[in-house]
Amino acid sequence: MAAISREEVAHLARLSRLAVTEEELDTFAGQLDVILQSVAQVGEVAAADIPPTSHSVPLTNVLREDVVTPCLTPQEALSGAPDAEEQRFRVPRILDEDVAS
């Protein structure tokens, strides 16, 4: 049985903000299925009582003094932006979107 359907891949693409083509959906559905069936092997390991590891370095709450240090100028920070205006990143409209979608 397939681990993932074409419809699920389409849903994942939407969540991932990828405007994939119909052709890509066909290809990815098969490939993601193979990958997911393979990685599902982790389920064979008896690990109910094992704590998870998110990180190998046991550092927590790394803090520094709250002091001003040299940083990028607004011009430098905006230098790679596709569009900028009045020292800000300019983005396409965000209002009028269909909130239900």
**Among residues 7, 39, 85, 87, the one that binds another protein under rule CB under 8 A:** 39
Whether the CB-CB separation of 3 and 43 falls below 8 Å is answered with no
Of 22, 54, 66, 100, the one binding another protein (CB under 8 A) is: 54
Residue 1 in the binding site for another protein (CB under 8 A): no
Query: What's phi and psi for 30, nearest 5 deg?
Result: -65, -45
Cα–Cα distance, 32 to 43 (Å, whole number): 17
13 belongs to the binding site for another protein (CB under 8 A): yes
Does residue 51 bind another protein (CB under 8 A)?
yes
The beta strands (E) that lie in 1-101 are given as 84-85, 88-89
* Residue that the structure tokens 């008896």 belong to: 46
Applying CB under 8 A, the site for another protein has a residue count of 56
Backbone angles phi, psi at 58, to 5 degrees: -80, 55
Residues that bind another protein (CB under 8 A): 4, 8-9, 12-21, 24, 27-28, 31-32, 34-36, 38-45, 47, 50-57, 59, 62, 64, 72, 76-77, 79-83, 89, 91-94, 96-97
